[in-house]
């Protein structure tokens, strides 16, 4: 850990773990480089010619070259990863489980983007665009993408624009079963909302409210917590996921807080994400700020996972000075999920990550768009930090890597995740460093961040199970899934025209809504 920047630097006790038995199979993982937990320093350290011994679902031992051979002798199998960086599995708390809409909605100004929301008329009688089987395929597509990009733990998110209203209990049960089959660790709950953003016929924005649908969604979310308990699957944890805070009623937010406290369940909510579409609406219609709304609902506490956390008082588009928002988050023990790549694509920047860390706010990372690539997200965040500070020394690479591992683990209250250490969960990922296109290897993290992407992930293990090897997921027909994903994407794209509030008398077309970069001839 570089310096004392908030809670990420504090050593944590390992979670209680069951003792490994001699009957459990052991696997030795060998790699030229590894990022491991150094108990003496209370932080990460680089280990060359590393061997990590995994027994059952836990890491049993870690050694460098000198003692590595002895560890390998204790293993039933040795997997030699060669010239690769072995590191803690990446934790994505905004992991997209979707066939992404970013291709379609991140290129346009506000006037054109308004056409991609639901029309007020459509909101009166929305419907599912996809069949149940297609929705299941879409979720599998998204979960596979997470694994292929080095994610081992995810709190999924998906767009609701193509649904009848919001996610259902059965949607998330299917997600849980698919994730468990693939071997991905997930923290799940159906998203619910009392209202939806709409564009009226005159082009003005608004929210269409349907409290009955909100109540039904919340009931589904609570029922899903019961279902997860019944599953007793160590890879699946139930959480509460209210939608964007301005679309959830005060009553549902308060009841969310009550259930969260009673069941000790995490709550992820999208807030401090927008100005006109969130902060201004809350000020005008409910007389509050996003943070105050969460506080009065009883949600501002250590169970809160706050997606984005951009438009706080320190942001120049709000007050441009610290009036206490960061201290409130830190004192509450809440987590901000920073999504630097998505922020860049939609042009809303978190104002200096260093301020958040110095204030003691726990920071985790999320992808929130396609590809779910935390390596690209880290690189984007590092470059932004340099530019914001006008200082190459503020690259903050270590802090971003820690956010993608330790910060996520802290948010999940799972100190056994996010690190490679004896007793920790065997959630590991390896990125290849041997491709000529990767260039020279000096510091492996710098090399991966500057020259690589999440697509360089070649191996991952979750709870001691190999879920990806040589860049492939065992038993998965990746070619067939890609083809089906393309078909579903084209069906989703075609549905936008039906919801276009600003269509002319003859309606709109895909070509009008999504013109190509250059004319097609």
Question: What CATH number did the domain enclosing 36 receive?
Answer: 2.30.40.10
At 22, the pLDDT band (50, 70, 90 cuts) reads: low
Convert the pLDDT of each residue in 455-505 to its tens digit: 999 999 999 999 999 999 999 999 999 999 999 999 999 999 999 888 876
Give me the torsion for CA of 128, 133, 139, 140, rounded to 10°. Answer: -170
CB contact burial 37-53 (16+ within 10 A = b; e otherwise): bbeeeebbeebeebbbb
Round to whole Å and give the CA distance between 29 and 461: 10
**Residue 84, helix vs strand vs coil:** strand
Locate 116 and state its tokens.
Answer: 């991609």
The predicted structure's pLDDT at residue 90: 98
For residues 389 and 432, membership in a common domain is answered with no
Residue range(s) defining the domain that contains residue 150: 90-417
313 and 364 together in one domain: yes
On the question of pLDDT at 331 being above 50, the answer is yes
CA 407 to CA 403: how far, in whole Å?
A: 4
Same-domain pairing of 121 and 169: yes
Q: Are residues 302 and 449 in the same domain?
A: no
- Domain assignment present for 390: yes
- Is the pLDDT confidence value at 20 over 50? no
Residue 512 in any domain: the answer is: no
- Please count the structural domains in the chain: 2
Are the C-beta atoms of 434 and 425 separated by less than 8 Å? no
Please report whether residue 181 resides in a domain.
yes
pTM for the structure as a whole: 0.93
Are both 121 and 82 inside the same structural domain?
no
- Asked whether residue 344 falls in the same domain as residue 356, the answer is yes
- Return the pLDDT at 103: 84
Question: Is the domain of 56 the same as that of 131?
Answer: no
- Decide if 224 is inside a domain: yes
CATH of the domain at 312: 3.20.20.140
Same-domain pairing of 183 and 139: yes
- CA–CA gap between residue 146 and residue 297 (Å, rounded): 33
Domain identity same for 215 and 355: yes
Q: For residues 384 and 370, give the distance between their C-alpha atoms in angstroms, rounded to a whole number.
A: 20
Whether residue 162 is found in the same domain as residue 234: yes
| Residue 498 falls inside a structural domain | no
**At 6, is the pLDDT very low, low, confident or very high (cuts 50, 70, 90)?**
very low
Tell me which of 456, 473, 490 is where a domain ends: 473
What is the Cβ-side half-sphere exposure of residue 179, based on CA atoms within 13 angstroms? 30
Among 64-68, 85-89, 380-384, the minimum mean pLDDT is found in 64-68
At residue 394, the pLDDT reads 83
How does residue 60 score in pLDDT terms, banded at 50, 70 and 90? Answer: very high
* pLDDT above 80 for 23: no
Of 384, 417, 450, the last residue of a domain is: 417
- The verdict on residue 483 lying in a domain is no
Residue 495 covered by a domain: no
Claim to verify: residue 81 and residue 107 sit in the same structural domain? no
Q: Say if residue 101 is in the same domain as residue 228.
A: yes
């Amino acid at each position: 850990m570089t310096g004392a920047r908030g809670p990420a630097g504090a050593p944590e006790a390992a979670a209680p773990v069951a003792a490994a038995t001699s009957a459990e199979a052991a696997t030795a993982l060998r790699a030229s480089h590894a990022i491991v937990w150094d108990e003496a320093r209370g932080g990460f350290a680089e280990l060359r010619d590393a061997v990590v011994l995994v027994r059952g679902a836990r890491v049993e031992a870690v050694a460098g070259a000198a003692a590595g051979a002895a560890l390998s002798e204790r293993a039933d199998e040795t997997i030699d990863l060669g010239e690769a960086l072995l590191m803690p599995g990446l934790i994505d708390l905004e992991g997209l489980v979707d066939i992404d809409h970013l291709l379609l909605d991140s290129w346009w100004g506000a006037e054109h983007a308004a056409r991609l929301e639901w029309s007020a008329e459509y909101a009166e009688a929305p419907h599912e665009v996809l069949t149940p089987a297609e929705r299941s395929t879409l979720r599998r597509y998204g979960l596979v993408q997470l694994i292929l990009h080095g994610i081992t733990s995810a709190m999924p998110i998906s767009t609701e624009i193509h649904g009848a209203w919001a996610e259902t209990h059965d949607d998330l049960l299917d997600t849980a079963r698919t994730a468990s089959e693939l071997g991905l660790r997930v923290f799940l709950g159906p998203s619910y909302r009392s209202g939806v953003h709409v564009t009226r016929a005159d082009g003005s924005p608004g929210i269409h409210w349907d409290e009955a649908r909100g109540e039904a969604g919340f009931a589904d979310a609570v029922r899903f917590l019961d279902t997860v308990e019944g599953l007793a699957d160590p890879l699946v944890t139930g959480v509460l996921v209210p939608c964007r805070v301005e679309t959830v009623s005060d009553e549902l937010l308060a009841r969310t807080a009550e259930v969260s406290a009673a069941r000790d369940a995490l709550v992820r909510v999208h807030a401090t994400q927008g100005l006109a579409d969130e902060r201004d609406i809350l000020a005008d219609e409910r007389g509050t700020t996003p943070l105050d709304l969460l506080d009065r609902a009883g949600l501002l506490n250590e169970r809160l996972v706050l997606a984005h956390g951009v438009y706080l008082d320190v942001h120049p588009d709000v007050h441009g000075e610290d009036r206490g928002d960061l201290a409130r988050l830190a004192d509450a023990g809440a987590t901000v999920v920073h999504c630097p790549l998505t922020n860049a694509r939609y042009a809303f920047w978190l104002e200096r990550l260093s301020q958040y860390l110095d204030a003691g706010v726990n920071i985790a990372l999320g992808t929130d768009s396609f590809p779910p690539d935390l390596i690209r997200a880290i690189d984007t965040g590092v470059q932004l930090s340099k530019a914001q500070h006008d200082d190459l020394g503020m690259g903050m690479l270590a802090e971003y890597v820690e956010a993608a591992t330790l910060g996520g683990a802290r948010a999940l209250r799972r100190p056994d995740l996010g690190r490679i250490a004896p007793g920790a969960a065997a959630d590991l990922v390896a990125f290849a460093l041997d491709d000529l296109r990767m260039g020279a290897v000096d510091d492996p993290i710098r090399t991966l961040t500057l020259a690589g992407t999440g697509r360089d992930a070649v191996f991952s293990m979750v709870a001691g199970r190999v879920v990806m090897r040589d860049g492939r997921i065992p038993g998965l027909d990746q070619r067939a899934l890609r083809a089906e994903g393309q078909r579903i994407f084209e069906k989703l794209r075609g549905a936008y025209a039906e919801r276009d509030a600003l269509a002319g008398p003859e309606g709109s077309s895909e070509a009008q809504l999504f013109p190509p970069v250059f004319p097609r001839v």
